[in-house]
Structure formats: structure tokens, C-alpha cells
Amino acid sequence: MRIVIRSGEDSGHQFPVDREMTVGRAPDNAIVLVDADVSGHHAAVRPAPGGIEVVDTGSSNGTFVNGVRISAATLVRPGDDLLFAKTLAGVQGDETMVGEAPGAPNTLVVRAGANAGRSVQLHEGQDVYIGRDAGLGLTLSDSRVSGRHARVRLSGGTLTVEDLKSANGTLVNGKPLTGAMTANDGAEIQVGETVLVYYRDGARGGGYMPIPTIIGGVAPTTTTTIINNTTGGRSKKTTVALLGIGVIAIGAAAAAVAALLLSGGSGRKDEDIPTLVAMAKPETLQIVNLYNNGDAIGGSGSVIDAEDGLVLTNNHVATGGELLVLNELIGKKAVPAEMVAAAPCDDLAVIKITKSSDRKKLEQVEFGDADDLKQGQLVVALGYPNSAESGAGDRLDSLSATSGIISKVATTYNVPGSDVPELTNAIQHQAAVNHGNSGGPLFDTKGRQVGVNTAIFITDTGERYEGENYAVSVARVQELLPKLKKGQSIKWVGATLDQLTVNGGAFAGLAIGSITPGSPADEAGLKHSEDSWRQAIVGIDGEDIGTLHDYCEKMPESGKVTLSIFDRESSDVSEVELDLGRN
């Protein structure tokens, strides 16, 4: 028997129960749960005839079986709901697994969705059907999956995936299937809201899951000791690849498109890619952020108000230091800019070119309509990928233009425990973006901005999935812009925040990296990082936090808030009051 976690930050993790085991948030438990509402030592579980016996060990928020809080040892059978505080789990017998357990060669493992943790082993020359119908090789309880949705076949050591004219389509590494496609080791196959991963040599760890990563610049170093003298820093599971790669993306040579797909109603006509790039180039800026400790990161942005010098970008590009911007109309030397407002939990920010004389030649973008976007439509990403490695950024780098299709018009991206906030309305597309493209515009073929490039998809082993690129949708941008343009930040303290972990991978708080001058964090006297972090946020208004997702859930949009700050030098936790919404 095994416990399978079905919600929260550990969703998809499986824990075989072959002895008495403790469950809780503390890292010395056999089953460690990343849930602030779970007690340090919450419960105990042990094998029992027909299931698993669970006993609550004095937790604050309780253990529940089928919705009833337990007060004594209780048998949990396969199919029962088991709740540790807010973390939902279930019991699964080996006989209910599809095929062989993860670790067998040529295995498909469900890594996200209602059936996370299930698997099926593939055999040479045999078809395996995937869908909602009973009796298939892999039956899924996903309402967006068709009865017979897809078929996979292993032949000559090669896996072929075929969509069976499903209602919602099948993606392989983000690419929609139009017929059959081969899948390599580690390939991600998506049907409905269910994500499967193919392992040729056997699954690599029960908790393995691809995660998104920010397209940023230079990351502060955070591999240090934390709170109880255990090693901290970024865990492999949540590593964010922020170091500049300096890849020059393809440019206008991608113009050989036989027929551009229309992007909906507008007074503008569809343009060939060289014309579109020429139109959008004056609207796209290179941004440099000079951190407190001397590091510099680079990113991109788009002009949204030429007269007032307002520029839209990512929060992770704009927060934490002194800002400079460049483009060919401004000149090849950087000019100063300042933060207007930011929304870190949507990774958006508006900055302003400080001097009116530096704004005279600016041109501003026109926003598109998210309702006009179509799956399979061509989009173009503009930005400055070299800016991530160009140091202080006192020169203009080469603008990059890449094109690709939209894989998903509107999707929610949510991987708790990563350094990427939940993107509630994102566009998944296949236009190549790299480090330094962060904050740059995504255009439709009429030259209208439809998104803000924010994240790429990288596994915990560092492998990048092509076509796994994410932009915050213009629909979400337009919801937040009225506040941001007025200088009303949303849940912004004014510091870069880096995930910290304790031994065993449990998340322990957010290290304060670099701090924006004049921000709430600066005015409250919080300390920025030098060679390593000094302070970390471990609580908000009396509630513990461990992750960026906790921060976004518990942080008020504006007004006064009390942060629990752990100081590494003194090993003390102090309460610090901040006034949010100011910058």
C-alpha cells in the first residue's frame, strides 16, 4: 500500500507504507509535507489489513478520513479521502496501479492531473490506448480527455504518440499533434489537463516533475546555512535558471511563412515578419537592473505610454535595484528609469523613464485582444537575450526576433515550490525565448502586443523542453494596468525573494536578495544580500510561510502588514511592520 498526495505542493508524490511512519512538516518525518497548516509532527501511518491505519498525533488542524476528523486510529482503504490539514491524499494498493510501478523501463507516468502517480509499462509492438473509457491501457478521470483520446506504441525502441481525433487535442513537449509523432526519453505528453512523462530507462524518482523557470539575469547566491543550521539555498526541485546564456535567437530570417494566420479583428493588417519586427523594434526596450551588491541583471520591456515614458516588464526584471533602459531611438547609452509599481504575484511591473528629454523619440505598443487569439496562430517574440550577460549594460545589445505558434491560448501555470508565481492567465507558445527576454513583448501578426514573456520550461535535471514558453496574457495585463500605472503596487515589498530549503527539501522561507531604493522593504530597514543572504521572510501577519506561493496567498494587496523576519547573523526572528502599495 502507498499514500498518494493529490493536492498542494506535493501533489503526485507517492510514499510506500511498509512500516510505521510519521507525517508532518518537520524534515525528520518519513513523509514530509509542504503545507503551512500541517503540524511539525502531524500524524502516523502504518500498514494494516485492507489499507493503511492512520492516527493523528496531536496536530493543530486535524487529520480527516472521508471528511470526518479522526480522534483514534482509523483504517483508510483505497478510494477513501485522507486529509492532513489542507493536503489531500489517498491510499492506493499495488493492484490498483496501471501496469508496473515506476522504475520499470519504457514506462509512462502520470505526473500532473487527477490521476497523478499512476503508470503503465509499454511493451514492444503493443498499442496502449489512453482516454476516459473503461478498459483502456490507461483510463483517466479527466473531463477534458476524450473517451479514446490517444494511442501510444513502442516499436523498435521508439515511442510513437497519435491523437485519435480527440476533442481537446494532444501535445508532445508543447507541440500539438496533427498526426503521429515520436517521443524521446523524458518527453511530456499532455491530454486534457493530464500530463504524462515517458521514461525509456525507468522513472527517475517518485517526485520528479518538470518545472517552469524564470527567464532572468544573474541570480544572487543563496547556498548557505539556514535557521536551524541546515544547508539552505535553492533545491534542485526549484532551481531557477537565472544565469545569462547569451544565446542569440533567430532574427528576421524566419520570414518565409507561406500563409500567416489571422489574429482577429483589428484595423491593422497582417504583416510579414520583417515588417512586423521593423514596426515593433522602436517599442521594445532593453532593461538593466543594478543590484545592491554590484550584480547586474538584464531583461526587456515594451513602451506602453510614450508621453509619460511608461514601460511594461516583469517584476523579476525591475525589482531590487537601480534601473537603466536602452533602445535605438533613445540612443546606445543607457538612461535612468524608476519603479512605478509592481505585482510580484503576477510577475508584472511598470517602470518610468525618468527624464522627459529621454522620452521624445519613443513609440508605444498597441495591445491586442486576447479573445481574438487562436490555437496554432503565429506569434513573434522580441527582446534582448544577450542583456542577461552584458554586465552593467552601458551599451545596447542586439534585438532578437523569433516566431512560433500558440500551443495554448489561455492556461494557468501553477507549480508550488518554484520561484515562479502562479500565472493565472498565460499563453503557451513556441517562439524561442532565452535569458534576457524576460518582460519583453509577444506580438501577433498585426504587430499588437498580446503577452509579456515570462517563463521557460526546464526539468529538475536542467533539460529544456522546446515549445514550453509562457507569456502573461494581455488580458491579465489589462486587468492590472489601471492600478500599476497609478503607482499602486500589489503585494510588493520591493525586494527580490529567493526560495530557501532545509534538509529533506522542505521549504523554509524566502531569502531577501536585493532591495529597491525607497521601497517598503528599504523604508522598513530590511537588509539586502551581499555574498549570501542575511534575512528571510518566514511569516506574514502571524502565519508561517515557506514558499512564494504562500507569500502570494497570505500577503495583503496593500496597507500595513507585519512580516516575521529571520536574521541569519543573530538567529532571531523579529516582527517588522511594512506599509505596502508604496514605492
Task: Please state, in angstroms and as integers, the Cα–Cα distance from residue 73 to each residue in 51, 69, 147, 336, 416, following that order.
Answer: 12, 11, 40, 64, 31
Q: Are residues 81 and 168 in the same domain?
A: no
DSSP assignment of 78-147 equals TT-EEEETTEEEEEE-GGGSSSSPBTBSSEEEEEESTTTT-EEE--BT-EEEEESSTTSSEE---TTS-T
Last residue of a domain, one of 179, 199, 219: 199
What CATH number should be reported for the domain holding residue 500?
A: 2.30.42.10
Last residue of a domain, one of 199, 219, 247: 199
Rounded to whole angstroms, the Cα distance separating 89 from 466 reads 33
Q: Are residues 361 and 394 in the same domain?
A: yes
Q: Is position 213 within any domain?
A: no
Q: Are residues 570 and 505 in the same domain?
A: yes
Q: Domain range spanning residue 521?
A: 495-580
Note the pLDDT of residue 98.
Answer: 35
> What total number of domains does the chain contain?
4
* Low-confidence residues in the chain, pLDDT < 70: 79, 93-104, 112-114, 174, 202-270, 331-332, 386-395, 415-417, 458-467, 502-506, 581-583
Note the pLDDT of residue 563.
Answer: 96
Rounded to whole angstroms, the Cα distance separating 428 from 222 reads 30
What CATH number should be reported for the domain holding residue 141?
A: 2.60.200.20
Q: Are residues 453 and 514 in the same domain?
A: no
Note the pLDDT of residue 460.
Answer: 54
Q: Are residues 84 and 117 in the same domain?
A: no
Note the pLDDT of residue 187.
Answer: 80
